[in-house]
Amino acid sequence: MDVLPPYTSHEAIGGTSHTVAHDKGGLEVQFFSHAVAPTSPPIFHNESIISGTLHLEVHESLLSSIHGVTVTLRGFEREMRGAFGQATTMSKTAEIGQTTFLSVNQELYTHDSGKLAAGTHSWPFALVFPKTFRSVSKKALDEEFELPPTFSAPGYPTYLLYELRCEVSKSTLAGDEIMSVPILYVPRREAARPSKARMLAYETGSPAPSPLHDSEGWQTATATTKVQVFNAREVDISVSFSLARPLEYARGTFIPFYMNLTCDDAQALDLLSTPQAFSIVLDRRLHASEPSGRRAVDERGNGQDTVSEGKYWRAEPNYEGHNTRAFEGEIAVGVQLMQNFTYPKLSLHVSR
């Protein structure tokens, strides 16, 4: 697991430039994001600054006049009606409402500052993603939450979306011009530092020490369960499972683990030591509320969705006793795996 330097958000100046124009022409916005290419969806991280310029072409008109120009960073919840817990398509769902949970705006022009002359006008702007927002949900009114990531998943009625909204308000004789640009918000977190022994192993390129030699570098849990052997008898198995600390892992890396099995029945212990005798999986659990407000849990896989399966092998013999078998392994963390988050109507939790 690579140790990443502390992450500091910054304005995406010099990053990837995006240019979006209104379908009817006359309104255009240019801004920067952390996306890998101009054709990729604009992406932002913790406390990123959306900086750019809005361009407006003004024409002389007796029927309308411009009263204001505003840019807004908007986060909103979209509720869809459909079969909860099942894959949905546009033909099977319908939007039943939106709730804005984040609105950060900047007024670029007001009528009080004088009439806009015909021609092209440009205004720079900068909008900052806040760390938190206050809930507008009745069940958690004004409760503070961390800003959630962009979220959409097949079969779930709640979407969490973000957009850059450019609005030109006009007199009553002409409709307002509104251009909404979808953007992605993907928060980043800085993991705590590993133990000194694990850090030394990374620096020297040597194997990381086991829980037996580095208790600070591992989070260990124990449990006892019963296992039926050959459908003939039940035996007690003690399981000790250890995950590498800190319990925060970068996407695209691996989660190291150790596991010890202890049993007084030698035959059962040998049986459990065979390849594929057990599985180590990484599960994702999503809790959501239906549009009716009733709390619901995804029923697929008893509320869990396996996102990765670990690989393991026998550890060094000196880690084992006469009634103990030791294993070590790793679980792959997918590059697209979303981190845990909590929202008033939605929470996502990943666990082994």
One-letter-per-residue 3-state SS of 210-274: CCCCCHHHEEEEEEEEEEEECCCEEEEEEEEEEEECCCCCCCCCEEEEEEEEECCCHHHHHHHCC
pLDDT of residue 305: 78
**171 and 94 within one domain:** yes
pLDDT value of position 302: 37
Is 7 a member of any domain?
no
Say if residue 220 is in the same domain as residue 324.
yes
Q: How many whole angstroms separate alpha carbon 104 and alpha carbon 98?
A: 17
Are residues 26 and 117 both part of a single domain? yes
Cis peptide before 317 (omega within 30 of 0): no
Strand ranges for 294-352 from DSSP E: 295-297, 305-309, 311-314, 324-332, 341-343, 346-351
Q: What is the pLDDT averaged over residues 253-258?
A: 93
DSSP string, 52-84: EEEEEEE---SS--EEEEEEEEEEEEEEEES-T
Strands 324-332 and 311-314, by their bridges, are: antiparallel
Number of domains within the chain:
2
What is the percent of the chain with per-residue pLDDT over 70, rounded to a whole number? Answer: 83
Domain that includes residue 142, residue range: 16-185
Q: Which residue has the higher pLDDT, 296 or 270?
A: 270
pLDDT value of position 25? 77
Q: Which of 185, 212, 229 is the last residue of a domain?
A: 185
pLDDT level of residue 295 (50, 70, 90 thresholds)? very low
8 A C-beta contact, residue 341 and residue 347: yes
What would the pLDDT profile of 268-291 be if each residue is shown by its tens digit? Answer: 888 888 878 888 998 888 776 544
* Domain-located, residue 9: no
Top-confidence residue, 81 or 340: 340
Query: 27-67: per-residue pLDDT in tens?
Result: 999 999 999 999 999 999 998 999 999 999 988 875 568 88
Give the CATH number, domain containing residue 173. 2.60.40.640
Average pLDDT over residues 147-165: 88
Is 190 part of a structural domain of the chain?
Answer: no
Q: Based on the fold, state whether residues 200 and 315 are members of the same structural domain.
A: yes
Same domain, 225 and 180: no
Residues 231 and 119 in one domain: no
Q: pTM higher than 0.75 for the full model?
A: yes
Last residue of a domain, one of 185, 204, 238: 185
Query: Does residue 243 sit in the same domain as residue 101?
Result: no
Does 277 share its domain with 180? no
Residues 167 and 239 in one domain: no
Q: Please check whether residue 313 lies inside any domain of the structure.
A: yes
Task: Answer whether residue 136 is part of any domain.
Answer: yes
What is the chain's mean pLDDT, rounded? Answer: 83
Residues 204 and 122 in one domain: no
Task: Name the pLDDT band for 114 (thresholds 50, 70, 90).
Answer: confident
- Regarding whether 276 and 149 lie in a shared domain, the answer is no
Q: Are 169 and 283 found together in one domain?
A: no
Domain assignment present for residue 11? The answer is no
Residue 229 class from Cβ within 10 Å (0-12 exposed, 13-18 middle, 19+ buried)?
Answer: middle
Here the CATH number for the domain that contains residue 206 is: 2.60.40
The last residue of one of the domains, among 185, 207, 242, is 185
